[in-house]
């Protein structure tokens, strides 16, 4: 189980999370959670794009995220 702390920037429409886990572990966790839900997952340099495989009422759901490591 991952422990995360959320920080929101309402003006930019962004949410940032902090975690003690490595960037690689976070990317793997997101991928493992998204695939059973029917998302196509594309990963490139700690950037993830999750795209639903079904059309919804307002089109296909697409989520983009970037995982950064801070020392």
Which residue, 35, 34, 2, 19, is CA-closest to 67?
A: 19
pLDDT (tens digit per residue) in 30-44: 899 999 988 899 988
Q: In this model, does residue 1 exceed pLDDT 80?
A: no
pLDDT tier at 14, thresholds 50, 70, 90: confident
What pLDDT was estimated at residue 54? 76
- CB contact burial 6-38 (16+ within 10 A = b; e otherwise): eeeeeeeeeeeeeeeeeeeebbeebeeebeeee
Residues 42 and 30: beta-carbon distance below 8 Å = no
User: Mean pLDDT throughout 15-27?
Assistant: 84
Domain spans of the chain? 20-71
Question: Domain spanning 20-71: which superfamily?
Answer: Kinase associated domain 1, KA1 (3.30.310.80)
Cβ atoms of residues 52 and 60 within 8 Å = yes
pTM: 0.69
């Amino acid at each position: 189980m991952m422990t995360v702390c959320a920080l929101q920037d309402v003006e930019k429409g962004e949410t940032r999370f902090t975690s003690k886990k490595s960037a690689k572990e976070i990317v793997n966790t997101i991928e493992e959670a998204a695939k059973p839900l029917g998302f196509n997952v594309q990963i490139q340099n700690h950037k993830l794009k999750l795209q639903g495989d079904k059309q919804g009422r307002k089109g296909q759901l697409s989520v983009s995220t970037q995982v950064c490591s801070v020392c």
